[in-house]
A and B are shown apart, each in its own frame.
Chain A
Amino acid sequence: MAIIKKIINWGRIKSPWVLHFNTGACNACDIEIIASLTPRYDLERFGVLLKGTPRHADILLCSGPVTKQVECRLLRIYEQMAEPKFVIAVGSCASSGGVFGCCYNVEGGIDTVIPVSIYIPGCPVNPQALIDGLVKLLASLEGPSPCMKDSKARDDLPIGKP
């Protein structure tokens, strides 16, 4: 079984499919995410493909602070992803709430709602920083202690919340 696990892990590292979700960002991080997929930075050389549905994605790229309206949608999307799942908080706002921390409609960083594997700071993140963060995440999968947060047990997540 160990060999099968190894092959699966190898496959996971070579094809990390991502889902990009804007949880209330100012668009800057979203644009930088797309920019890192285009020829200059070309994230696709690491096997990264941008996917349209959480069911196909391994990595959730969240940009922006979590607004009150988006909170339950973020949870729902996180729940729909298959295990093992990784969450990357892209940008200062996603990491901690950033400049929007004081706004009335903002809950805070992504980690107030779902567990986060990697934080990439920056306002907005530089594509180089994004690549660095992603490569660090993938490198951790090769080692003994992958950057994986235990996703909470199903019952703990407040799914029923409107």
Chain B
Amino acid sequence: MGYNHRGIEKACEEKTYIQGLYLIERVCGICSHAHSTCFVQAVEEIAGLEVPRRAKYIRTIIGEMERVNSHLLWLGVAGHEIGFDTLLMYTWRDREIVMDLLALVTGNRVNYGINTIGGVRRDIEPEQIKAIVKGMDKLEERTKYYIDLARKESTMLERLSNVGKLSKEDAIRLSTVGPTGRASGVDRDTRRDDPYAAYDEIKFNVITDDHCDVYGRTLVRLKELMESYNIVRQGLKQLPEGPITVKAPRKIPAGEALGRYEAPRGEDVHYVKSNGTEMPDRVKIRAPTLANVQAVAHMLEDGYLADLPIVIAAIDPCFSCTDRMIQLKNPLTRTKKTVAWEDLRLKGIEWYAKKGVDFSRLNRKLENCLG
């Protein structure tokens, strides 16, 4: 709808790469590390930089902790949408553990600002490693409780089963990504299929589920939490010694690259085109919600209106990532136009008039009543 559209892609073109990085981080306040890493990877590929292994591991660890944060947050929101507010309060309380750890390691609860072109800005100290391992153990115990809850609690079972059905064929046809696709049995995960950061040296399972409904999406996210704890632990164990950053040139050579990153919501894609100056020529962001949101219309078919909030929430939508402005270009007359609210309103009236529904008399009555 454009309420949240700020025009970040365009603004990036007027900023240097480092400035743009901080702007890109603020595309979304939940998967901020996902966006910045994705952008940085694309820029590093153009510049031909070899990122130190320690930096790759730190990126992986922060990325997984962000996934823990995001999935716990989602579980709470889903609980709220089905009227199970106790779950919201429980999960958000536990989420504070990982928020504290993120603040400890990066210095900020959200928008970590840890990435820079050619590495990371902060190192992980031995005391922090101890704190993270301790936090992960605690969270693992809590997550086991939530998985148990999701399997036994009748509120969740009955409210989530057979809601928002999406078959495997439809999931592939509508190009769903991330947990939404994996819950329909689509075995795709960028971390395994196209490893970035340190994922090629870490063992983990890709969680899929064949429930094909909101319940399946809940289970996938909960089990992914358990995998995330393992990845963080492995990363901390294997954390290599060495520098955390390499010197990056101010001017990035001309070229183009595509960054891929498995964000908590699905695959995030950044396209960067450089022209040899300090500023990028074009930055294109395809956030996971944009890929998933088309499937929602299909999920809602033959459903109840009361299921609408949870079905929309089940793809874990992030509208600040997704919100776009549409400009219509007429190739014949070479004119551009945007669709304003008034145009949409008129189009709505026309559409209903074609179907034989006319609200004009009712409107006039209302206007008379209101004076």
Residues of B within 8 A of A (CB): 1-8, 10-11, 14-15, 22-23, 26-30, 32, 73, 76, 88-89, 92-93, 95-96, 99, 108-111, 318, 320, 325, 340-342
Contact = CB atoms under 8 A, between A and B. Distances in A.
A75 to B, nearest CB: 14
A109 interface: no
B111 A28 contact: yes
A26 B7 contact: no
Contacts, number: 103
Contacts of B88: 38
Given A99-B23, A124-B111, A106 B96 contact: no
A73 interface: yes
Interface residues of A, number: 32
A70 interface: yes
Contact of B29 (A25, A40, A99): A25
A79 interface: no
Contacts of B320: 24-27
6 smallest CB-CB distances across A and B, nearest first, come from A28-B29, A38-B92, A27-B29, A26-B29, A103-B7, A28-B110
Given A26-B29, A39-B89, A39-B93, A102 B2 contact: no
Contacts of A67: 2-6
Contact of B4 (A22, A99, A104): A22
A104 B110 contact: no
Main secondary structure of the interface of A (DSSP, over half): loop
Contacts of B99: 35
B26 A40 contact: no
Contacts of B5: 24, 67, 69, 105
B28 A102 contact: no
A32 B110 contact: yes
A65 interface: yes
Contacts of B8: 100, 103
Given A27-B318, A31-B73, A162-B342, A105 B29 contact: no
Contact of B6 (A40, A65, A124): A65
A103 B20 CA distance: 12
B92 A104 contact: no
Given A67-B2, A103-B7, 17 more contacts: A24-B320, A25-B29, A25-B320, A28-B111, A31-B110, A35-B96, A38-B92, A40-B93, A67-B3, A69-B1, A99-B22, A99-B26, A102-B15, A104-B7, A104-B11, A105-B2, A124-B29
Highest count of chain A CB atoms <10 Å: which of B3, B8, B95, B99: B3
B165 to A, nearest CB: 28
A126 interface: yes
Contacts of A28: 26, 29-30, 32, 110-111
A77 interface: no
Given A34-B92, A99-B23, A162-B340, A24 B6 contact: yes
A24 B3 contact: yes
A123 B6 contact: no
A102 B279 CA distance: 15
A43 interface: no
A26 B92 contact: no
Nearest to B9: A103
Contacts of A27: 28-30, 318, 320
Contacts of A62: none
A29 interface: yes
A58 interface: no
Given A28-B29, A31-B73, A103 B111 contact: no
A40 B22 contact: no
Contacts of B318: 27
A63 to B, nearest CB: 9
Interface string A35-65: 1001110000000000000000000000011
B109 A126 contact: yes
Contacts of A39: 89, 92-93
Contacts of B14: 102
A73 B3 CA distance: 9
A69 B7 contact: no
B336 to A, nearest CB: 14
A162 B15 CA distance: 32
A100 to B, nearest CB: 5
Highest count of chain A CB atoms <10 Å: which of B22, B89, B109: B109
10 contacts: A22-B3, A24-B6, A26-B320, A28-B29, A69-B3, A99-B23, A99-B26, A100-B23, A105-B7, A124-B109
Contacts of A30: 29
Nearest to B2: A69
Contacts of B28: 26-27
Given A28-B111, A38-B89, A69-B1, A103 B30 contact: no
Nearest to A102: B11
